[in-house]
Amino acid sequence: MNILPRFLNYVSYWTTSQESAGTTPSTSRQFDLARVLEQELISLGVKDVVLDEFCYVYGYLPATEGYPSRKSIGLISHMDTAPDMSGKDVKPNIIENYDGTDIILPNGKVSILVSDFPRLKSLKGKTLITADGNTLLGADDKAGIAEIITAVEEILKRNLPHPDIYIAFTPDEEIGEGSDHFDLNRFQADFAYTVDGDYEGEIAYENFNAASAEFTLKGKNVHPGEAKNIMVNAASIACEIQSLLPEHETPEHTEGREGFYHLTNISGDIGQAKLSYIVRDHNGDLFQKKLDYLEKVKEFISGKYGKDTVTLSIQESYRNMVEIIDNHMEIIRLAEEAITSVGLTPVSTPVRGGTDGARISFMGIPCPNLGTGGYGFHGPMEHIALESMETVVEIICHIVSHVN
């Protein structure tokens, strides 16, 4: 397979997305990789390849003889890397015949510990790929892109029978905007998979219900020497709002399907202040209760300091795809059969986040998520094994050749 040089080429492109940019893509540099993928799909013989003005890359592989009547399938990965850490000038570190122990990265400042990533033990003897400690690697989700394109290459090389296959590479998934301009006219799959997880035997179809929330506070600033009964300290009220939220319903204290309020930013002074939150819960009713509680906090602050003191804006980000996938469990069974065929045990755990597939599922295309084989995403400890990527290629090949 050509997956290793392909992957190393992709991670060399700086595709970090940028929150609050107000454009699609959020960073024009994502086009640099998109143009490479466009040409690569064309060179493989993929049909109807398009790179649109929003930096989405689409392609289509027509069904083989006898398969046009079968359901069409889609494969999706995203081109951007997370703004949590630099994705510029990535220097891959390739460890052949990895010995299964702790890894000191080339910059000498970051270590990947087996105690933090127990699955490292199972990668002993394999070819492990990391960054050098100064950047993230970009396996999230350039591994997924490499796996999809390599699977397409293998499908054609092996003459595997398959239905219509639709391919899409999206921008800005890491900032929750990956499906904002997703073109269903160019992607007419009956169902699809995002390839954007960790364990290579993963098939995930539950994710958070998600929203962002922002409190904006207006204070009244006067000299502290004459402030009694006049001053309204916006910064102090911001602290009070945070104290009103449940102390243990935060990311630091939750796991599994447990939801949370996550304070992502706080800024301001006496005259004005802002608090930004993301709100998450797998359970739809509990999610709504969290949003309702924020409204109650707003009403309490308004009653205490005046109705003009506080405003609250809430914007829904995505919903739990299980609402859709529960009615299409055959696509989960198809993936589980493919995972079993390569000797792995299928694992499905609730995603404590979201994917393009969550929103695309609600756009009419059921779209669970397959693992890529990578771990430690969004930071310097990101790592992936070459053999894991090759296994995902085989899983994809099995899925597309066994669609009913």
Q: Which of 38, 153, 173, 281 is catalytic?
A: 173
Is 80 an active-site residue?
yes
| Tokens, residue 132 | 């050098």
Residue from 80, 140, 198, 390 carrying the catalytic annotation: 80
* Catalytic residue set: 80, 173
